Amino acid sequence: MKVEQLYTGCLAEAAYYIESEGEAIIIDPLRDIQPYIQKLERNKVKLKFILETHFHADFVSGHIDLAEATGAEIVYGPKAVTSFKSHIAQDHEKLRIGKLTIEVLHTPGHTPESSCYLLYDESGNKHAIFTGDTLFIGDVGRPDLAIKSDLTKEDLAGMLYDSLETKIKTLPDSILIYPAHGAGSACGKNMSKDTFDTLGNQKQNNYALKAKDKATFIKEVLEDLLPAPSYFSVNALMNKEGYRNTAEVIKQGSIALDADGFEKLQEQTHALLLDTRDPAAFKEGFIPGSINIGLNGQFAPWAGVLITDTTQPILLITDTDKEKETIIRLARVGIDNVIGYLKNGYQTWKAANKPEDMIRTISAKDFADHVLSNAALNILDVRKPGEYETGHFNEVKNVPLDYINEWTSSLDKNKTYYVHCAGGYRSVITESILKSRNINNVIDVAGGYGAVKKELDAKDSQ
């Protein structure tokens, strides 16, 4: 028996590969299927089943492309309705691969069709359960993501409580919990950085599993639940109804353009200019009007949140040889409309003497010494509300990047704004968007809240 967790940090997502006697199962695969195909070929095994725990909202799954490439059967739990060929399993139905058995456990709550997969080893012992978004390490799935459902979030939270009580908590404490997500995912609110645990430990440490009754559980699960990102509903429908072949999406976007061709195509299509370089490099020089979302951060989730018009063409500015990776990672969150990229990246634009822009920066020390003491200055803290509540600078306004479309209009284009986040990634995204909307007087606080707090603490200790 081989069980492998395939974790993708950008999405805080875990897919799973299970193998026995020349047969394999993949659970909750990502949209880019080549790594799975290569693994199957390398191990010389046949993919028998693709198990989906539910209609994912935070990413587009690879189930359809993977089934077409391998002939494997797509499996969902009860209540799922798909527009493509799939097997809708019954509650407690058992599937076999090699010497292993997988039992389907219908666990509605996160969504009506949510199901977990219980793995029995070669001796018939309960070994692990793949819980999807039903149970995380330290948390449970948010109950407000059902597609076109008459069920309220309170209804679903109650169903989730029942599922945990009757299907999960009754299992042996020694059983391994393998969830679909870890810390950083918006599918829950309190996820651990750990990506697996035993059920016994979770009974002791997971607040949701310790709730004394259903009413308490519902209250605690729904408390402080932020609105779901707008792209979640788009991704869930794509997973339910189907999507374009990913290889076609990659081919469409893999068109190299020189500076003149890039500029002309942008004028013709009104494409969004997406620059995925490191924020520090972007600040030094960029194409006017371009948006920076650095590939080395939580790129795909932020792209999903901020690129709200999924029909607008996109042109890329990336580091050399990063264009394909960028296209794939955009496709993971349902953004399929890249139409080309700037060959050899920003240096091509610069060498052609095209117009450039930049973002001014202030060091954490200068900000601590000279800016914070001036109450008349405008400072924007773009962290999430929870981060802000944990600690913030006095008289500083919290305007989360997540909701930038709601607060941009309140800014005065004639004023200067100092912008900070936790470490510098989100502040540059914010500044690039503001500059694209003609709010040009923005200054980046290098190192963000963390660096400034360190400077302030050093001053206090002197």
* This model's pTM is above 0.75: yes
Structure tokens at 422: 């936790």
**Chain centre distance of CA 35:** 19
Contact yes or no for 246/265 (Cβ under 8 A): no
Which among 311, 379, 320 is positioned nearest to 339, based on CA atoms?
311
Structure tokens at 37: 């195909």
pLDDT digits (tens, 9 = 90+) for 304-362: 999 999 889 999 999 999 999 999 999 999 999 999 999 999 999 999 999 999 999 99
414: left (phi over 0), alpha (psi -120 to 50) or beta: alpha
pLDDT of residue 375: 66
Residue with tokens 């402080």: 224
For residues 189 and 238, the model is more confident at: 238
Q: Which CATH number applies to 2-235?
A: 3.60.15.10
Give the Cα separation of 122 and 2 in Å (integer).
11
Give the Cα separation of 292 and 442 in Å (integer).
15
Residue with tokens 């829950």: 188
pLDDT digits (tens, 9 = 90+) for 395-423: 898 999 999 999 999 999 999 999 999 99
Structure tokens at 342: 């700037």
Give the Cα separation of 317 and 296 in Å (integer).
14
User: How many other CB atoms are there within 10 angstroms of residue 152's CB atom?
Assistant: 12
pLDDT of residue 128: 98
Helix (H), strand (E) at residue 88: strand 87-88
pLDDT of residue 149: 76
3, β-bridge pairs? 18
Q: What are the contacts of 38-46 at 24+ separation with CB within 8 A?
A: 40/70, 43/19, 45/19, 46/22, 46/70
Which among 238, 221, 231, 79 is positioned nearest to 153, based on CA atoms?
221
Which among 336, 338, 337, 343 is positioned nearest to 318, based on CA atoms?
343
Residue 287 has pLDDT above 70, yes or no: yes
Regarding the domain delimited by 244-351, which CATH topology (the fold level of the hierarchy) does it fall under?
Oxidized Rhodanese; domain 1 (3.40.250)
Query: Do 244-351 and 360-460 show the same overall fold?
Result: yes
Q: Which amino acid is at 4?
A: E
Mean pLDDT of the chain: 95
- Phi, psi dihedral angles at 101 (to 5 degrees): -125, 140
Structure tokens at 374: 């001036």
Average pLDDT over residues 68-82: 97
Contact yes or no for 44/73 (Cβ under 8 A): no
Q: What is the CA radius of gyration of the chain?
A: 24
Give the Cα separation of 427 and 22 in Å (integer).
49
Give the Cα separation of 404 and 211 in Å (integer).
36
Instruction: Write down the H helix ranges in 141-286.
Output: 153-163, 199-205, 214-222, 231-241, 246-253, 259-269, 279-284
Helix (H), strand (E) at residue 305: helix 299-306
Q: Where are the domains of the chain?
A: 2-235, 244-351, 360-460
**What percentage of the chain reaches a pLDDT higher than 90?**
89
Q: Which CATH number applies to 360-460?
A: 3.40.250.10
